[in-house]
Amino acid sequence: MGIQLIWENRFNIGVEIIDREHKKLFKIINKLLEFSEQEEKSTWVCREGIKYFKEHAAKHFTEEENYMASISYKGLEMHKRIHEDFRLCTIPALEKELKQTDYSKDAISHFLGVCAGWLVSHTLVEDHAIVENRTGKWENLFSKEEQAAVTHEIERFVGDMFQLEPRLISECYGGEKFGNGIYYRLTYATEDGDQQEFILIFEENLLIRTVGKLIGSRSKQLDVMLMNASRYVARQFIDCIRRSFTDAERYRMEGENLLSYEQFAHSFAKHQPQYSLLFDTGAGYFAYCAMSPHIVAGKKRQSLKEERAASEVKEYLSQNHKERSTRKNKILVVDDSEVVRQSMRGLLQDDYQVALANSGLSAFRSITLDRPDLVLLDYNMPLCDGAQVLEMIRSEKEFAAMPVIFLTGREDKTSISKVIPLKPDGYLLKRSKPEEIKRNIDHFFKKIKIETEKQ
């Protein structure tokens, strides 16, 4: 048996009609996962399973929405929007892929993985918010129509200026790091104290290939001239978008900042964005985020001023280049336990860049955006277990050689023998002393360094 959804007590929200239907949806997905492994049945299962899953999900959504209305849940409209997006956008897109590929193995896997991932995350985040009478991370997102309009404007602007065709990757960009990023922020305020915050995040290579090309720069890295040119392109970009969708005349520009990733990530985690869009242009990634409250917490950064902008931009670039030249190895910790993730961050962060993922699906997204030097992978996870995640990594040509070490509580021979053919780079036990785990990881990187120097 391969991937199976494991029902845990934490999925219960304490409302019988909702918990019962969640368990039933889990069973449906598990039955589909089981039959999809039997090649002769997979096409038939998906054709019939999609229909059954859609019908049952629609029935469950209606019952859940009726319950939310009965208790006057304040997040009802956003919750309905999430249901509608899954039912009318996600499922039809998956069906289209299945039909276009004649129900290929990859398309079937994609369909089942997305449905399972959506069900788990929706249950743990949005459905738990119902009984806790709180809103989720995306409660302040603007309407789908407004999202689509902003996306269209961004695509048009990028196409007209840079002759690129950006592809929307996510309408809910979660602040993940991608490549060597430049984080540019503009704040606006009214006389009444209302604030707007906009952040554009560019992969450095994207600016070199676009703005650098426009100004005839031959530099292969960002310099002060190219960075200043990029600032003004970014400012025009933001002004163009906000004039189209807000009462821009009421606002004056209050501040302009260049942020480190740590400053951006820290503040982004505390606020609910109205837009958080991630694009792939083919020449690099970029993200567009908009929020209302003041997002830079802690020590207030002084806004860039023209009379000192050149020196501050030079300092910013110097710091970026310094961090890159003395770059710490990047480790992605994948574990569904918050306790384990945070303890590993504390153990490793002094000597390594540490990123965290709470599931196999979020791990794969993190691997795609910001490729780590090592993945520390849990074996037992509720959606994709560690063996399945490693199998996905090894099946992708560009990630196949990525080092992966299991960090797990499983030490039985069956589990170990299952992953040996996938060639993990190690197998560490969680019950080991922290200093022993750290010593093994340090030894791994020293070994890699020695092998590299010999080549």
CATH of the domain at 181: 3.40.1550.10
Q: Is the pLDDT of residue 184 over 90?
A: yes
Q: How far apart are CA 421 and CA 416, in angstroms?
A: 10
If one compares 189 and 443, the residue with the highest pLDDT of the two is 443
Q: Is the pLDDT of residue 376 over 90?
A: yes
At 196-240, the pLDDT tens digits run 889 999 998 899 998 888 777 878 888 888 888 888 888 888 887
Q: For position 308, what pLDDT does the model report?
A: 64
Enter the tokens of residue 454.
Answer: 């010999």
Domain assignment of residue 14, yes or no: yes
Enter the tokens of residue 120.
Answer: 């788990």
Q: For position 106, what pLDDT does the model report?
A: 65
Domain assignment of residue 4, yes or no: no
Least confident window among 57-66, 98-107, 393-402, 434-443: 98-107
Q: For position 295, what pLDDT does the model report?
A: 38
State whether 22 and 163 are in the same domain: no
237 and 200 in contact (C-beta within 8 Å)? yes
Domain assignment of residue 454, yes or no: no
The model carries a pTM of: 0.59
Domain assignment of residue 2, yes or no: no
State whether 236 and 251 are in the same domain: yes
Q: For position 320, what pLDDT does the model report?
A: 77
Q: For position 403, what pLDDT does the model report?
A: 92
If one compares 455 and 79, the residue with the highest pLDDT of the two is 79
State whether 228 and 307 are in the same domain: yes
Q: For position 324, what pLDDT does the model report?
A: 66
Domain assignment of residue 340, yes or no: yes
State whether 165 and 296 are in the same domain: yes
State whether 151 and 100 are in the same domain: no
Average pLDDT of span 121-127 = 73
Q: For position 300, what pLDDT does the model report?
A: 47
Domain assignment of residue 224, yes or no: yes
Q: For position 38, what pLDDT does the model report?
A: 65
What CATH number does the domain containing 417 carry? 3.40.50.2300
Average pLDDT of span 146-154 = 89
Instruction: Compute the mean pLDDT over every residue in the chain, rounded to the nearest whole number.
Output: 80
Domain assignment of residue 361, yes or no: yes
Domain assignment of residue 285, yes or no: yes
State whether 314 and 416 are in the same domain: no
Q: For position 310, what pLDDT does the model report?
A: 67
Which of 108, 132, 156 lies at the terminal end of a domain, its last residue? 132
Q: How far apart are CA 407 and CA 378, in angstroms?
A: 5
Q: For position 297, what pLDDT does the model report?
A: 40
Closest to 109 in 3D by CA, of 28, 36, 45: 36
State whether 274 and 337 are in the same domain: no
Which of 325, 343, 371 lies at the terminal end of a domain, its last residue? 325
Q: Is the pLDDT of residue 162 over 50?
A: yes
Number of domains in the chain: 3
State whether 102 and 203 are in the same domain: no
State whether 165 and 83 are in the same domain: no
Please give the residue range of the domain that contains residue 127. 9-132
Strands laid side by side in the 374-377 sheet: 353-357, 330-334, 374-377, 404-408, 426-429
State whether 314 and 335 are in the same domain: no
State whether 355 and 307 are in the same domain: no
At 309-350, the pLDDT tens digits run 667 778 888 887 776 666 788 999 998 888 888 889 899 988
At 43-89, the pLDDT tens digits run 666 677 777 777 888 888 999 999 999 999 888 887 887 788 778 87
Burial 162-195 (b: 16+ CB within 10 A, else e): bebebeebebebbbbbbbbbbbbbbbbbeeeeeb
Q: For position 319, what pLDDT does the model report?
A: 80
Average pLDDT of span 264-289 = 85
Q: Is the pLDDT of residue 299 over 50?
A: no
State whether 341 and 441 are in the same domain: yes
Q: Is the pLDDT of residue 293 over 60?
A: no
What CATH number does the domain containing 38 carry? 1.20.120.50
Average pLDDT of span 348-358 = 88
Which of 286, 307, 325 lies at the terminal end of a domain, its last residue? 325
